[in-house]
Amino acid sequence: MSSKTILLLIAIICNTCESARILAVMPTPSFSHQVVFQPLWKSLLSRGHEITLLTTDPIKNSNYSNLRQVDWSFAYHLWQNKHNISKMIINFRHNKIKCFNQFVDMMHEITSLELEHEDVQKLINDKNERFDLAIIEFLHPVMLAFSERFSCPYIGVSSMDLTTLGHEAMGNPSNSAVYTDFLVPYDSNMCFVERLLNTLSYLLVSLYFNFYMYPKSDNVVKKYFGGNLPKLQEIQKKASMAFVNTHPALHDVRPLMPNVIQLGGAIHLHNLTALPMVLILDLEKFLNESQNAVIYFSLGSNVRVRDLPGETLNVLLETFVQSPFRVVWKVEATDVIKNASNIYTGRWLPQQEILAHKSVKAFVTQGGQQSIEEAVYYGVPMIGLPFYVDQFANIRRLSKRGACIGLDVQNIRKKDFEKAIYEIITNQSYLNAVQELSTLMKEEPISSLEKAIWWTEYVIRHNGAKLLKSNVPNMPFYQYFLLDVAVTLLLVFAIILFIQYKIVKSIIKRIRSKMRDDKFYKIE
């Protein structure tokens, strides 16, 4: 351990605060949203803080006496079965507005049922309950009401980048010429048409949030928290801090306010070198015995193979079965692959350990934030098959940086898929590019987890982070864009021009009058 690391650890230990009562609220029933911050809960618990955790993925086998959990795992049934998030994601490209509206309505139903939970109602209505800090997923504004109910500062957390409106709530610039809306498949380097579409997307999303989502969310807050709370748009601006799972190695660089902390750099990752052999011996054997490269294929925790169009699934199956490489495939329906000795399937697989294995040379992924983060961390080049929201931009950025090959999953052809697999495995440039990104991701003065702990305790110690907050979120738009100044300057300029016009007109009038007089005298 270097002397710099030791000094940083000493600084963290010396700056600890007394045991605090923390409320953590994580409503999204998607493991990728939850797994990023589980190390933070465990670390804060180990440091003596008391945590009340409202989550769809409770910490299992917990021996923490200072942990109280509310189990919201029932939300997975609504997410996966009733509303079928998988089909919603797959159909996203065909009708973005419809699918986005379906997602918003689904999350309103889920958050409403989560708030109706008996233990949550007891918590909300307990007049003796208090918290020093709330840590709340920033994606769903309804849950931000907890910070107002308990009159405590809060930290908004996101397992990916913030939405455009989330950035604006923190005071970060949101110029649509440079910074993309989360619904568009672009990066910061856009042509004219892309900038036009990005701007239109931003305007539509702003109108949608302001006139539909926020009013609907305010009604939910009124129902479960009472009518005395501020509007959610105002509560959102009160965030003491935001933890964002982004990193310059994976995302476009953008200016951030001091209270927006980038935790990208693998807060939940470790330098793994082997599979958990006690749990999965046959997979270890399958990987170790491979004579050629191994391809790992996963479409994340939400897309189900059985929901894919038949022609797409056939292309994937035929390509993998006929491939000279072994394939490890995370798939919920393992019976779709029959009599394929080169394919190992599992409903759940230890993704980090697989990517860390020396035999794995390529990762076929949907391009979700956690998947690309893990692939870059372990230095595995990717083939991207994006379906939804930020996945398109993620794959586009990685492709431009030489670490990925992006394909259109809706129109994928077998020969293109085969060519991409061969290229990604045999062309050393992809491996070099992803390893360079891996080095950049790991090159941090302090780990992401240590950073999150330090800033969490900073907010607790100072009852918020008022010193770091910008006044930008509280400024009317006409002030932020200097419209009032522009109008004033235009008026002054117009008055000056008018006065000059009057002066010139008066001078011309006098000159003409004098010329007429001179002419009259000459005639006389």
- pLDDT tens for 109-142 read 999 999 999 999 999 999 999 999 999 999 889 9
Which pLDDT score, from 0 to 100, does residue 487 have?
Answer: 96
- What token pair was written down for 55? 């989550």
Residue 345, H or E segment: strand 343-346
Lowest mean pLDDT among 178-192, 348-362, 411-425: 178-192
pLDDT of residue 272: 61
Query: Would you give the distance in Å from CA 475 to the centre of its chain?
Result: 25
The domain ranges of the chain are: 17-265+444-474, 281-442, 481-505
Over the chain, what is the mean pLDDT?
90
**pLDDT confidence band for 6 (50 / 70 / 90):** very low
Tokens of 85: 């998030």
Fold agreement between 17-265+444-474 and 281-442: yes
| 223-233 mean pLDDT | 93
Give CA–CA dist 423/430, Å, rounded: 9
Quick check: 155 and 241 in contact, CB under 8 A? yes
Distance CA 481, CA 477 (A): 6
At 414 the pLDDT is 95
The per-residue pLDDT for 10 is 45
SS (H, E, C) 266-293: CCCCCCCCCCCCCCCHHHHHHHHCCCCC
d(CA 358, CA 380): 10
Lowest pLDDT segment from 2-16, 131-145, 289-303, 366-380: 2-16
Domain 281-442's class?
alpha beta
pLDDT band at residue 280 using 50, 70 and 90 as cut-offs: low
Measured CA to CA, the distance from residue 453 to residue 12 in angstroms comes to: 9
pLDDT of 522: 58
Q: How far apart are CA 220 and CA 229, in angstroms?
A: 12
Start-to-end CA span in the chain (Å): 109
Position 264 pLDDT exceeds 90 = no
d(CA 84, CA 106) in angstroms, rounded, equals 10
Tell me which DSSP letter residue 339 carries.
S
Average pLDDT over residues 338-354: 88
What pLDDT score was predicted for residue 519?
62
28: closest CA among 62, 69, 57?
A: 57
Q: What is the largest CA-CA distance in the chain?
A: 123
Q: Which of 114, 108, 44, 118 is nearest to 72 (CA)?
A: 114
- Categorize the per-residue pLDDT at 277 as very low, low, confident or very high, splitting at 50, 70 and 90: very low
Position 447: which residue type?
S
Reported as a single tens digit per residue, the pLDDT across 26-53 is: 999 998 889 899 999 999 999 999 999 9
Characterize the bridge pairing of strands 382-384 and 360-365.
parallel
The dihedral built from the CA positions of residue 204, 217, 157 and 75, taken in this order, carries a sign that is negative
Question: Per-residue pLDDT averaged across 389-412, rounded?
Answer: 93
Q: Residue 278: its pLDDT value, please?
A: 43
Burial group, residue 373, by CB count within 10 angstroms (0-12, 13-18, 19+): buried
Beta strand 154-158 with 133-137 is parallel
Q: Which helix (H) or strand (E) holds 210?
A: none
- The DSSP code for 327 is E
- What are residue 27's phi and psi, to 5 degrees? -85, -15
* pTM attached to this predicted model: 0.89
64-106 pLDDT tens trace: 999 999 999 999 999 998 989 999 999 888 888 888 889 999 9
User: Where does residue 518 rank: exposed (0-12), middle (13-18), buried (19+ CB within 10 A)?
Assistant: exposed
Using pLDDT thresholds of 50, 70 and 90, give the confidence band for residue 477: confident
pLDDT band with cut points at 50, 70 and 90 for residue 227: confident
Give the pLDDT score at 467: 93
> pLDDT value at position 319?
94
What CATH code would you report for 17-265+444-474? 3.40.50.2000
The first and second tokens of residue 492, run together, are 């002054």
As a whole number of angstroms, the distance between CA 352 and CA 274 comes to 10
- Spatial separation of the C-alpha atoms in residues 89 and 409, rounded to whole Å: 12
Q: Give the pLDDT confidence of 146-171 residue by residue, as tens digits.
A: 999 999 999 999 999 998 889 999 99
Over 50: is that where the pLDDT of 347 sits?
yes
| Average pLDDT over every residue of 247-271 | 87
Q: Predicted confidence band at 11 (pLDDT cuts at 50, 70, 90)?
A: very low
pLDDT value at 2 more than 70: no
Residue written as token pair 């080049």 = 381
pLDDT tens, residue by residue, 435-469? 999 999 998 888 999 999 999 999 999 999 999 99
Q: In percent, how much of the chain has pLDDT > 70?
A: 93
Cα pseudo-dihedral 367, 373, 377, 379, rounded to 10: 10
Question: For 493-509, what is the mean pLDDT?
Answer: 92
Average pLDDT over residues 392-417: 94
Cβ–Cβ < 8 Å for 289, 356: no
pLDDT for 274 = 55
Q: CB-side exposure of 139: number of CA atoms within 13 Å?
A: 21
The SS3 of residue 485 is helix
Contact (CB, 8 A) for 302 and 89: yes
Residue 266 has pLDDT above 90, yes or no: no
